[in-house]
Amino acid sequence: MIEVKNLTKSLPNGRMLLDGISFKVKKGEFVGILGPSGAGKTLTLRCLNGLLKPDKGEVIIQDENGKGHDICKINKRELRRVRQRIGVIFQGYHLVKRLSALENVMIGRLGQISTARSLFYGFTDGEAAEALLALEKVKIGHLAEIKTGNLSGGEMQRVAIARAIFQLPTLLIADEPISNLDPSNAKIIMKMIKPLSATMPVVGVFHQPEMTAKYCTRVIAIKDGKVIYDGDPKLSNDMLVEIYGEELSLIEQQEHAVPAMLIN
Nearer to ligand ATP, 37 or 253 (CB): 37
User: What's the order of all strands across the beta sheet hosting 2-10?
Assistant: 16-25, 2-10, 56-62, 68-70
Among 13, 37, 114, 253, binds ligand ATP (CB under 6 A): 37
Cα gap 24→237, rounded to integer Å: 25
- Per CB under 6 A, which region of 36-44, 99-107, 134-142, 252-260 contacts ligand ATP? 36-44
Smallest gap from Cβ 225 to ligand ATP, in A, equals: 7
- Per CB under 5 A, which region of 40-48, 49-57, 116-124, 231-239 contacts Mg ion? 40-48
Looking at 87-236, list the stretches that DSSP marks H as alpha helix, in order from N- to C-terminal side: 101-107, 115-119, 125-137, 153-166, 183-193, 209-215
Smallest gap from Cβ 203 to Mg ion, in A, equals: 13
Smallest gap from Cβ 160 to Mg ion, in A, equals: 17
Cα gap 140→134, rounded to integer Å: 9
Size of the site for ligand ATP (CB under 6 A): 10
Q: Does 42 bind Mg ion (CB under 5 A)?
A: yes
User: Comparing C-alpha atoms, which of 21, 11, 34 is closest to residue 176?
Assistant: 34
Residue 57's SS3 state is: strand
Q: Which of ligand ATP, Mg ion, none sits in contact with 217, Cβ below 5 to 8 A by type? A: none
Q: Does 38 bind ligand ATP (CB under 6 A)?
A: yes
> 153, 185 in Cβ contact below 8 A?
yes
User: Comparing C-alpha atoms, which of 211, 226, 133 is closest to residue 174?
Assistant: 211
Give, as ranges, the residues between 138 and 197 that touch ligand ATP (CB under 6 A).
none
Among 31, 39, 143, 227, binds ligand ATP (CB under 6 A): 39
Residue facing Mg ion at closest CB distance: 42
Cα gap 89→183, rounded to integer Å: 18
Smallest gap from Cβ 48 to ligand ATP, in A, equals: 12
Cα gap 44→35, rounded to integer Å: 12
Q: Does 179 bind Mg ion (CB under 5 A)?
A: no
Q: Does 13 bind ligand ATP (CB under 6 A)?
A: no
Q: Which residues bind ligand ATP (CB under 6 A)?
A: 11, 17, 35, 37-43
